[in-house]
């Protein structure tokens, strides 16, 4: 069951990549994501994320920047161009300067460590809840740190019976 993220008022909560992406890139969710992250910034919400979330958001932002530059719909073409053309790669990576700077500025946001055991739980959570590996890894980190709320627009997490999904 989804809950409106604007109604979340007590922590801890794990922040998924799409919340950061909506904040960084213009969409119909940008304002709502920014309002939520402002609460994190103001230390009104006990918020957590992990390096895998930062990696996921960074990758999507880079690919989307490349798609815009190339006026293309092919992520594969963007990946190939990044590997071949340093100037193109730098243009794509430029989007990360603001993104990483912003995430680092959220002093109240705590970055949780990922362990080998978390990585090995990907199979368990992936098969139990029909999740992609990256989402299974997020779930493993959440479980180990006893975080049972997640800020995400990913409806796949609704299949997990021990967490509460908060969406934009």
Query: Contact at 8 Å (CB) between 160 and 32?
Result: no
The per-residue pLDDT for 2 is 80
The per-residue pLDDT for 78 is 98
The per-residue pLDDT for 1 is 67
Give residues with Cβ within 8 angstroms of 126, minimum separation 6. 132, 133, 136
Query: Contact at 8 Å (CB) between 53 and 16?
Result: yes
Q: Could you give all domains of the chain from N- to C-terminal order, each with its CATH number?
A: 2-167 (3.40.50.1010)
The per-residue pLDDT for 109 is 97
Distance of alpha carbon 151 from alpha carbon 166, whole angstroms: 5
Pick left, alpha or beta for residue 43 (phi over 0 → left; psi -120 to 50 → alpha; otherwise beta): left
Per run of 10 residues, the mean pLDDT along the chain (length 168 residues) is 88 96 95 96 96 98 98 97 98 96 95 98 98 98 98 97 97
Distance of alpha carbon 163 from alpha carbon 107, whole angstroms: 25
Q: Kindly write down the DSSP assignment for every residue of 14-57, as one continuous string.
A: EEPHHHHHHHHS-STTHHHHHHHHHHHHTT-S-EEE-HHHHHHH
């Amino acid at each position: 069951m989804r809950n409106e993220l604007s109604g979340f008022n007590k922590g801890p909560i794990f922040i998924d990549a799409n919340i950061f992406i909506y904040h960084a890139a213009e969409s119909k969710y940008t304002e709502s994501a920014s309002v939520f992250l402002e609460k994190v910034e103001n230390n009104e919400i006990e918020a957590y994320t992990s390096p895998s979330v930062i990696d996921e958001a960074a990758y999507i932002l880079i690919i989307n920047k490349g798609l815009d530059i190339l006026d293309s719909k092919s992520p594969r073409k963007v990946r190939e161009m990044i590997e071949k053309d340093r100037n193109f790669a730098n243009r794509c990576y430029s989007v990360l300067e603001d993104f990483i700077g912003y995430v680092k500025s959220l002093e109240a946001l705590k970055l949780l460590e990922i362990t080998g055991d978390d990585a090995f739980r990907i199979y368990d959570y992936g098969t139990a809840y029909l999740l992609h590996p990256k989402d299974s890894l997020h779930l493993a980190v959440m479980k180990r740190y006893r975080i049972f709320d997640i800020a995400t627009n990913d409806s796949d997490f609704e299949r997990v019976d021990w967490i509460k999904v908060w969406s934009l």
